[in-house]
Amino acid sequence: MSKVGIIACSGEEIPVGTVSRLATRRVLELLRPQSTVTLCLPLFLAGEEQERRFAREHPTITVDGCDRLCAKRGTEQHSGQVAASLVVTEILGDRAAKCHRSARALDKSDEEAVWIVAERIAAEVDSLAPTAPQAAPAQSPRSPSCACSCGSPPPEGTLKINGKTVAVAVLPLVFDQLRKQGLEPGEDSADRLLEMVRVYHAIEPEEEPLYGDALVAAYQEFCGQPPGDTIAPSRPTSSR
Amino acid sequence: MPTDSPTEKLLVVPCSGIGKVHGLISREAVYRITDNLMPEQAETLCLALLVTGDPEAREKVRRRPCIAVDGCPKLCARKNIELSGSKAALGVRVYDTLKRHRGAAFGSPTALSDEGWAAVDEVATEIAQTAGQIVGRTPNPEP
């Protein structure tokens, strides 16, 4: 089954353009990595026919920052009809005014906005591809998961399991997201770490204790603490 | 190329490519110019408006000096400016700058590393130096 395409406007002039871009990346990398693909909108003019076929080959969701609808209009002009059109200002309402356009200035308001829009995109992906794997574990850690038409691979982390090095797709992104949600590193983080990683990486039941230990240590290191330190119990994390 | 009055700002247009870190570096380098180095002389434009053929955006790129900042050899910013009936006064290729730092880890298309931010500053400073000649003024000193 063809992957669902997402085209963001990435509008440079206004913060909601940045939100469109970041939310699209969030879906590609973390929320629906196996069922989505993207393309740079300007390639519809600057690229080749193979790029212009994008919306004909993939059911396409456009994500526009504002009501000028450049992604929707550009896709329909040069590639094909879109399956769904989302507009960041409509999704966020008043929250949009608190966003920033440069990554130097991003704060909690931007992070919240990106999550809201990303989850909206993911819901649209699910409606277009109900039988596509949404958050199914990857069959092979090295199989392509999220894809960009330019071929950029998703970020990957490694764990030591039974003396072997195992690659886990999107591990750095999972750690980053959990840290932002306030998950404290330490032994009590194991359950939450396993719950998240299990979405993207197959873990056999008998291997769960090993993965749990490895994830706790890796997360501690990610958070800048030496593995083995005693950390206070994690506080409950709020759902997104 | 006909230009507006001297008070009209230079247009600096990034490709903002979503698939590679180069696109993010191009985007942030432009913000560095418009927000810090040349806030009185330069502004940016949504490249997507040129993709749709927006008349106002096309008129802007025809009447003002433009700088295209492209992340990869596809040159989307430069080509879209040209397809709008204009020609970039300067075409910047971010990938040429990044080649000078082989082995560096600049980050991802979503977030830049410290090396990525250093590359942003390097690209922006180089552009500002040349852009200053285009508009005839000296860019702000780098803070």
Helix (H, G, I), strand (E, B) or coil at B70: strand
* Cross-chain CB nearest to B19 (options A9, A74, A148): A148
Query: Is B3 inside any structural domain?
Result: no
Q: Tell me whether A210 touches chain B (CB under 8 Å).
A: no
Pick B19 or A233 by higher pLDDT.
Answer: B19
ipTM, interface predicted TM-score of the complex: 0.91
Q: How far is CA B79 from CA A45, A103, B46, B113, in A?
A: 8, 26, 14, 29
Residue A22 burial (10 A CB sphere; 0-12, 13-18, 19+): buried
Assess contact for A115 and A24: CB atoms under 8 A. no
**Torsion angle defined by CA atoms of residues B114, B122, A11 and B48, in that order, rounded to the nearest 10 degrees:** -140
Q: Give the domain range for residue B131.
A: 11-135
B140 found inside a domain: no
pLDDT at A29: 92
Decide if B118 contacts B23 (C-beta within 8 A): no
In this predicted model, which residue has the larger pLDDT, A39 or B8?
A39
Helix residue spans in A33-144 (DSSP H): 43-46, 49-52, 54-57, 70-78, 88-92, 108-128
- Contact status of B137 with chain A (Cβ, < 8 Å): no
Q: What is the pTM of this model?
A: 0.75
For residue B52, give the chain A residue with the closest CA.
A74
Q: Which residues contact A188 (CB under 8 A, 6 or more apart)?
A: A233, A234
> Is position B4 within any domain?
no
Is residue B78 a part of any domain in this protein? yes
Tell if the CB–CB gap between B49 and A68 is shorter than 8 Å.
yes
- The shortest CB-CB distance from A8 to any of B18, B20, B51 is to B18
Shortest CA gap B49–chain A (Å):
6
Three-state SS annotation for A128-141: HCCCCCCCCCECCC
pLDDT digits (tens, 9 = 90+) for B106-138: 999 999 999 999 999 999 999 999 988 877 655
- Do residues B111 and A172 lie in contact, with contact meaning Cβ atoms separated by under 8 Å? no
**SS3 state of residue A156:** strand
Per-residue pLDDT, A65: 98
Digit-coded pLDDT (tens) for B64-109: 999 999 999 999 999 999 999 999 999 999 999 999 998 899 999 9
- The upper half-sphere exposure of residue B124, i.e. CA atoms within 13 Å in the direction of its Cβ, equals 28
A48: contact with B, CB 8 A cutoff: no
Per-residue pLDDT of chain A (240 residues; tens, 9 = 90+): 689 999 999 999 999 999 999 999 999 999 999 999 999 999 998 888 999 999 999 999 999 999 999 999 999 999 999 999 999 999 999 999 999 999 999 999 999 999 999 999 999 999 998 644 444 444 333 333 344 555 555 566 888 888 888 878 668 877 877 887 778 899 889 988 887 787 567 788 888 899 999 999 999 888 886 554 433 333 233 333
B44 in A contact zone (CB under 8 Å) = yes
B45 to chain A: closest CA residue? A13
Interface contact flag, B19 A40, Cβ < 8 Å: yes
Q: Higher-confidence residue: B140 or A17?
A: A17
Confidence (pLDDT) at A165: 83
Pairing of strands A164-169, A156-161: antiparallel
C-beta atoms surrounding A229 within 10 Å:
9
- Per-residue pLDDT, A201: 72
C-alpha distances in angstroms, B122 versus B30, B71, B114? Answer: 11, 14, 12
